[in-house]
Amino acid sequence: MPYSPLGRGFLTGAMKPAGEYPADDMRSWDERRQPGNHEKDLAAVRELTARAEDKGIAVTQLALRPQLRERVSNTAADRHVQIVAAMVRDGL
């Protein structure tokens, strides 16, 4: 299961930029939440959400699709991102 994108609020819209967390919170120095990266992630979520809406499914269902298709383990987060990106590119 894609733990990070779902469990950490990435696809649900709960992910906030690093500056909104206290300095002692690991999310304040998390690379994904830093300026530049955070905005790119938000743009990717908007695109994935639009693709999911076009298909009449939730973005979380779209996120789970690669898991069901290719049995990607949750330790292969980078591969999961590549699969989702390929699916978006191919219009799946």
CA distance 66 to 70: 6
Higher pLDDT, 39 or 67: 39
pTM exceeds 0.85 for this model: no
Condensed to tens digits (0 to 9), the pLDDT of residues 33-51 reads: 788 888 888 888 888 889 8
* Residue labelled with tokens 């790119």: 40
74 in Cβ contact with 8 (< 8 Å): no
